[in-house]
Chains A and B, each alone.
Chain A
Amino acid sequence: AQKITQTQPGMFVQEKEAVTLDCTYDTSDPSYGLFWYKQPSSGEMIFLIYQGSYDQQNATEGRYSLNFQKARKSANLVISASQLGDSAMYFCAMREPNDMRFGAGTRLTVKP
């Protein structure tokens, strides 16, 4: 059964605006980690941000923040002040506790 769901195959955002990429997950394990990775056209997987299941506060890393709603099992990525270089595939992933499973990804395109 799929455990990570990204319902937005593609998203567009205007440069300098904020965008939210959706992610929902399913697990019965109380201890898990949620991650977002960026994959630009060059193909490498770049770690962006992490949220632990026991963390009380939402994670932030520079322009990235994770909107963690545990009861709803959602872990949306918010990118503020979008830049052209943010155009890429974005993957949500969950680790519980050993192996990490990925969602299908969202392709973000930033328009000038």
Chain B
Amino acid sequence: DAGVIQSPRHEVTEMGQEVTLRCKPISGHDYLFWYRQTMMRGLELLIYFNNNVPIDDSGMPEDRFSAKMPNASFSTLKIQPSEPRDSAVYFCASSLSAGGHYGYTFGSGTRLTVV
């Protein structure tokens, strides 16, 4: 299994531009999670999907952020317009069904820098 695949690994963009981060979960995993990691706030859960349906987006910081999962093998996190404070590492993770004993498999992350 190739694991959770995120692209791009690094993204540098100018303030005001649209940024799209991509994630391919592990085949068969029915939960997908987007996290943001910063020094100040640590690992924050932004949104998660179950069977392609968004379940909880209460962690999405503001309307500039949106996430979609059009099918079981692909998800995007979009920031429009981007701001310097969005600079962070964004992780995607996937998991098998609900139940506390299923851990997550994380992607390698996308390091976003907004200048």
Count chain A CB atoms within 10 A of each CB in B89, B102, B103 and give the residue with the most: B103
Inter-chain contact A43/B42, CB cutoff 8 Å: no
Q: Are A47 and B43 in contact (CB under 8 A)?
A: no
Q: Which of A35, A98, A100, A105 contacts B50 (CB 8 A)?
A: A98
Question: B residues within 8 A CB of A43?
Answer: 89, 108-109, 111
Complex Cα gap A96–B42 (Å): 19
Interface size on B, residues (CB 8 A): 24
Known: A33-B101, A35-B103, A45-B91. A100 touches B42 (CB 8 A): no
Set of chain A residues within 8 Å of B101, measured between Cβ atoms: 33, 50, 52
- The answer for the CA separation of A44 and B103 in the assembled complex, in Å, is 15
**Shortest Cβ distance from residue A36 to the other chain B in the assembled complex, whole angstroms:** 10
Total A-B residue contacts, Cβ distance less than 8 Å: 59
Q: B33, B93, B100: which contacts A97 (Cβ < 8 A)?
A: B100
Interface size on A, residues (CB 8 A): 24
Q: Kindly list chain B residues whose C-beta atoms are within 8 Å of the C-beta of A103.
A: 42
A50 engages B42 (CB within 8 Å): no
Interface assignment of A64: CB less than 8 Å from any CB of chain B:
no
Are A91 and B98 in touch, CB under 8 angstroms? no
Residue B77 CB within 8 A of the other chain: no
Q: Which residues of A contact B (CB under 8 A)?
A: 31-33, 35, 37, 43-45, 47, 50, 52-53, 91, 95-105
Q: Which positions in B face A, CB cutoff 8 Å? A: 31, 33, 42-43, 45, 48, 50, 55-56, 89, 91, 93, 98-106, 108-109, 111
